[in-house]
Chain A
Amino acid sequence: MYRKNQKLTVFLFLLPSLLLFFGILIWPIIQSVHHSFYEYPAFNRAGQFVGFGNYVKLFSELYDFGLAIKNALILAALSVFIQLPLSLGLALMLGKGIKGERFYLSVYFMPVLISAVVIGMLWEKIYNPLYGLLTKSFEFFGWADVLPAAGVLGDKKTALMAVFIPTIWQYVGYHMLLMYAGVKGVSSELREAAKLDGATDGQVNRYVVIPCIKPIIQVSIIFAITGSLKSYDLIKVFAGDAYNCPYKVPSLMLVRYAFNNAGGVASAIAVMLIIMCFGFALLINWLFKERNPYGAK
């Protein structure tokens, strides 16, 4: 193919992407690292160098960043251990070849297209402790005492779950679609062979289909975890201007402090977020590399 004498051409081809990528993604990260070591008494005007002071501050009783991380991790864990199995279940059921499978698929996927802001506002109405759909239907069945009096979003025990449910509602369809494509991609000869050997449906799924779609599951897990760490829109709609919010997450804190003369703290949160996202992506890749008998894709 082409030789290396076309350095300039290569460069020109890459130029737009390089500019955008390094200017808008990498440079802000470097800046965030830099900002995170300074105090910002006013927006965009660096004050004293404080070293890791902002990071230490983050974990004080006041900012309570630990709670935000814990919440984000719980959301990530719920996504992986509840949302993905649910998606896998639906994908396997649909993948068997069922009447109207396109219809089911299309409906399940529909919520993915809706903006998280809309979903947040819709579910806020559903959760409304006085008139919401949830409240009213529990009242109808006479279970009103089951729901916390503070409303599911106001009670510390249920708040995180209440944030998680709309997320499942929205994204199960997405992960299901990915897995469904994988399930459909498993060659029919392979299934046939297993069937001929007397495997039941469950066994076919367990020993043939799931191992085959492992790469897709891996991608789903990465998307689910980084997605939970990034989630903002929905939670912002729920939280509004609340301080000391029981379901606060890092991104919520980041946006608040970025514009309230605490740029250093906001940058420290940004750095922590990046480290967490990278860390998880690497961790999952490594886990799958070790365990995947078919080798990495």
Chain B
Amino acid sequence: MKIKRMLALVLAAVMMFSLIGCSAKNGSGKKIKLTMWCIATEGDSNRGAYEKAIDELKKTMPNIELEWEAIENETYKTKIKSAMAANELPDIFFTWSGAFLGDFVAENKVYCLKDALSKYNDLPASMLGNVTYADGKPYGVPTTMNVVALFANMDLLGQVGYTEVPATYDEFIDCCDKLVAKGITPIAVSGSETWCVTEWLEPMIEKTIGADALNDIFRNGATFDNAGVKSAVDALQSMIKKGYFAAEGASLKNDDVRDNFAMGKYAFYQNGTWNCANFADQEKFPGFIDKCRVTEFPVIDSTNAKLGQLIGGPSDTLAVSASSKHAKEAAEYCVALGREISHYGYLSGAGLPAWTPTYEANDINALTKAVAEICNKANAYVLFGDTAMGGSDKDNYLEYVGKVYASEVDGAGFTSGLKKAVR
């Protein structure tokens, strides 16, 4: 009996100590340090949202101390991939959904967020489609949602008699022809940043072959060798040939093109809706927001495609490294952070929220509101091609898009080349 009592005492003591130990760990005394990498550098439209969200979480999750670093987009892609290979991912990292995160998940480098996400009910399940992989579990927190949209300068369109943005493809072409005749450059795209060319090419393909067919090509291994793709590429090239695209675009960077559009140099600019915040910036471009309209690209071939089929989706994502020392805490923090960034990003016009708004959002800028309208009517999204495809497929795809822009290959060359090069 003595021994039993002793044992019970010892056990009780152990339990006591462990309880004390636990509570000490959970107490406010010990802060958990987490690291995060993202691309919200000073000039990035999401910068403000990140800063506000992190400040907000300092209040609601005071036991977490976040050290974060913002790296310029282009460098970031190399850096995050190489960090993944070297098992040196930070606790929380920014990533793009689809294949970009998928490559990481396939290497078992990402912590599953199923549990952390289950505490919230304001994230629609549809937003998790691009971060859910083979095992059916979510591995990322979508923050903002962006689509490709056509921005138009109504001042310039007004000069050729258009008071509305052309609603059909024929009108669009007619409008561009009139602009060219008037000596106004209709369109500018940055040729030296190939992803910007895809912002033209992908909507045109989608509005020719339809969202399902394009999705099959990007994500389900269907071949690029498709008559619709070919004709869309040829249509883009005929636009280039007819001089719709500003020639100087070939050596301008996207920021240059965007700012020049906002200064009234070009009539149309097609790019992600994260640009709304920029165009709404009264300090930088006074009065521009009143001239600017945003809409989706018109349908080219209505047999398969229709309005409401968009390129884009919740692509900006936060994820947690599987090798994180505090993976569980990091996951909770990451989900909360993603939710806040969604909130503040929406308010600042950096994109639409991936999370259902539980707050008043009346004073967002008119452009973002218009984008929300477009998305409300949307019935299908196809993820950006360079996000949907991974690894060398993405490179090969972009390489051919570059060739299309430089008029080195035509539609037939594009489809037959990519048929061989992708998968």
**Direct A–B touching in the complex (beta carbon < 8 Å)?**
yes
A251 to B398 alpha-carbon distance, docked (Å): 19
> Contact between A240 and B247 (Cβ–Cβ < 8 Å)?
no
Q: Nearest A residue to B85 by beta-carbon distance?
A: A43
A260 to B405 alpha-carbon distance, docked (Å): 23
Q: How far is the CB of A77 from chain B (nearest CB, A)?
A: 24
**Cβ-neighbour of A244 out of B78, B399, B421 (below 8 A):** B399
**Cβ-neighbour of B395 out of A129, A130, A156, A262 (below 8 A):** A262
A156 to B250 alpha-carbon distance, docked (Å): 10
Q: Which residues between 117 and 157 of chain A lie within 8 Å of chain B, taking CB atoms?
A: 127-130, 148-156
Q: Nearest A residue to B395 by beta-carbon distance?
A: A260
A-chain residues with CB within 8 Å of residue B251 when the two chains form the complex: 127-129, 150-155
The 9 closest A-B pairs by CB, nearest first: A244-B402, A154-B250, A154-B251, A151-B251, A149-B247, A43-B85, A150-B250, A129-B248, A243-B402
> Contact between B82 and A242 (Cβ–Cβ < 8 Å)?
no
Q: How far is the CB of B367 from chain A (nearest CB, A)?
A: 25
Q: Which residues between 153 and 168 of chain A lie within 8 Å of chain B, taking CB atoms?
A: 153-156
Q: Does A256 sit within 8 A of B, measured CB to CB?
A: yes
> Contact between A243 and B399 (Cβ–Cβ < 8 Å)?
yes
Question: Known interface pairs A43-B82, A260-B392. Does A241 touch B247 (Cβ–Cβ under 8 Å)?
Answer: no
Q: How far is the CB of B413 from chain A (nearest CB, A)?
A: 9
Q: Does B195 sit within 8 A of A, measured CB to CB?
A: yes
Against B, the Cβ 8 Å flags (1 = close, 0 = not) of A253-278 are 00011011110000000000000000
Q: What is the total number of residues of chain A having a CB less than 8 Å from a CB of chain B? A: 33
Q: How far is the CB of B194 from chain A (nearest CB, A)?
A: 4
> Contact between B107 and A42 (Cβ–Cβ < 8 Å)?
yes
Contacts A/B (CB < 8 Å), 8 sampled: A128-B251, A154-B248, A155-B251, A156-B406, A243-B395, A243-B402, A244-B194, A245-B402
B-chain residues with CB within 8 Å of residue A261 when the two chains form the complex: 103, 391-392
Q: Does A44 sit within 8 A of B, measured CB to CB?
A: yes
A129 to B191 alpha-carbon distance, docked (Å): 13
A-chain residues with CB within 8 Å of residue B392 when the two chains form the complex: 260-262
Q: How far is the CB of A127 from chain B (nearest CB, A)?
A: 7
Question: Known interface pairs A43-B85, A151-B248, A261-B392. Does A240 touch B403 (Cβ–Cβ under 8 Å)?
Answer: no
B-chain residues with CB within 8 Å of residue A241 when the two chains form the complex: 74, 193-195
A-chain residues with CB within 8 Å of residue B252 when the two chains form the complex: 128-130, 151, 154
Q: Does A62 sit within 8 A of B, measured CB to CB?
A: yes
Q: Does A95 sit within 8 A of B, measured CB to CB?
A: no
B-chain residues with CB within 8 Å of residue A243 when the two chains form the complex: 194, 395, 398-399, 401-402
A156 to B191 alpha-carbon distance, docked (Å): 12
Q: How far is the CB of B78 from chain A (nearest CB, A)?
A: 5
Q: Does B396 sit within 8 A of A, measured CB to CB?
A: yes
**Cβ-neighbour of B260 out of A127, A130, A149 (below 8 A):** A130
Q: Does B192 sit within 8 A of A, measured CB to CB?
A: yes
Against A, the Cβ 8 Å flags (1 = close, 0 = not) of B160-198 are 000000000000000000000000000000011111000
Q: Does B52 sit within 8 A of A, measured CB to CB?
A: no
Against A, the Cβ 8 Å flags (1 = close, 0 = not) of B74-108 are 10001001101100000000000000000100010
Q: Does B256 sit within 8 A of A, measured CB to CB?
A: yes
B-chain residues with CB within 8 Å of residue A150 when the two chains form the complex: 191, 247-251
Q: Nearest B residue to A162 by beta-carbon distance?
A: B251
Q: Does B417 sit within 8 A of A, measured CB to CB?
A: yes
Q: Which residues between 248 and 281 of chain B lie within 8 Å of chain A, taking CB atoms?
A: 248-253, 256, 260
Q: Does B122 sit within 8 A of A, measured CB to CB?
A: no
Question: Known interface pairs A62-B396, A130-B260, A239-B192. Does A244 touch B85 (Cβ–Cβ under 8 Å)?
Answer: no
Q: Does A246 sit within 8 A of B, measured CB to CB?
A: yes
> Contact between B194 and A246 (Cβ–Cβ < 8 Å)?
no
B-chain residues with CB within 8 Å of residue A239 when the two chains form the complex: 192
Q: Nearest B residue to A260 by beta-carbon distance?
A: B395
Q: How far is the CB of A149 from chain B (nearest CB, A)?
A: 4
Additional pairs, 16, CB under 8 Å, beyond known A239-B192, A243-B401? A43-B81, A43-B84, A61-B417, A127-B251, A130-B252, A130-B260, A148-B247, A151-B247, A154-B191, A154-B250, A242-B193, A244-B400, A244-B402, A244-B408, A260-B394, A261-B103
Against A, the Cβ 8 Å flags (1 = close, 0 = not) of B366-401 are 000000000000000000000000011011101111
Q: Nearest B residue to A262 by beta-carbon distance?
A: B392
A-chain residues with CB within 8 Å of residue B398 when the two chains form the complex: 243
A43 to B401 alpha-carbon distance, docked (Å): 25
> Contact between B194 and A151 (Cβ–Cβ < 8 Å)?
no
A262 to B396 alpha-carbon distance, docked (Å): 11
Question: Known interface pairs A150-B248, A243-B402. Does A256 touch B395 (Cβ–Cβ under 8 Å)?
Answer: yes
A242 to B74 alpha-carbon distance, docked (Å): 11
A-chain residues with CB within 8 Å of residue B394 when the two chains form the complex: 260
Q: How far is the CB of B40 from chain A (nearest CB, A)?
A: 18
B-chain residues with CB within 8 Å of residue A260 when the two chains form the complex: 81, 391-392, 394-395
Q: How far is the CB of B79 from chain A (nearest CB, A)?
A: 9
B-chain residues with CB within 8 Å of residue A128 when the two chains form the complex: 251-252, 256
Q: Nearest A residue to B394 by beta-carbon distance?
A: A260
Q: How far is the CB of B246 from chain A (nearest CB, A)?
A: 9
A261 to B389 alpha-carbon distance, docked (Å): 13
A129 to B256 alpha-carbon distance, docked (Å): 11
Q: How far is the CB of B165 from chain A (nearest CB, A)?
A: 25
A-chain residues with CB within 8 Å of residue B253 when the two chains form the complex: 240
> Contact between A242 and B194 (Cβ–Cβ < 8 Å)?
yes
Q: How far is the CB of A262 from chain B (nearest CB, A)?
A: 5
Q: How far is the CB of A165 from chain B (nearest CB, A)?
A: 14
Q: How far is the CB of B18 from chain A (nearest CB, A)?
A: 41
Q: How far is the CB of A58 from chain B (nearest CB, A)?
A: 13
A291 to B400 alpha-carbon distance, docked (Å): 47
Q: Nearest A residue to B243 by beta-carbon distance?
A: A149
Q: Which residues between 37 and 54 of chain A lie within 8 Å of chain B, taking CB atoms?
A: 41-44
Q: Nearest A residue to B82 by beta-carbon distance?
A: A259
Q: Nearest A residue to B260 by beta-carbon distance?
A: A130
B-chain residues with CB within 8 Å of residue A156 when the two chains form the complex: 406
> Contact between B406 and A246 (Cβ–Cβ < 8 Å)?
yes
A-chain residues with CB within 8 Å of residue B248 when the two chains form the complex: 129-130, 149-151, 154
Q: How far is the CB of B330 from chain A (nearest CB, A)?
A: 23
A42 to B109 alpha-carbon distance, docked (Å): 13
Q: Nearest B residue to A259 by beta-carbon distance?
A: B78
A-chain residues with CB within 8 Å of residue B192 when the two chains form the complex: 153-154, 239-240, 242, 245
A241 to B398 alpha-carbon distance, docked (Å): 10
A-chain residues with CB within 8 Å of residue B399 when the two chains form the complex: 62, 243-244
B-chain residues with CB within 8 Å of residue A256 when the two chains form the complex: 395
> Contact between A259 and B396 (Cβ–Cβ < 8 Å)?
no
> Contact between B417 and A259 (Cβ–Cβ < 8 Å)?
no
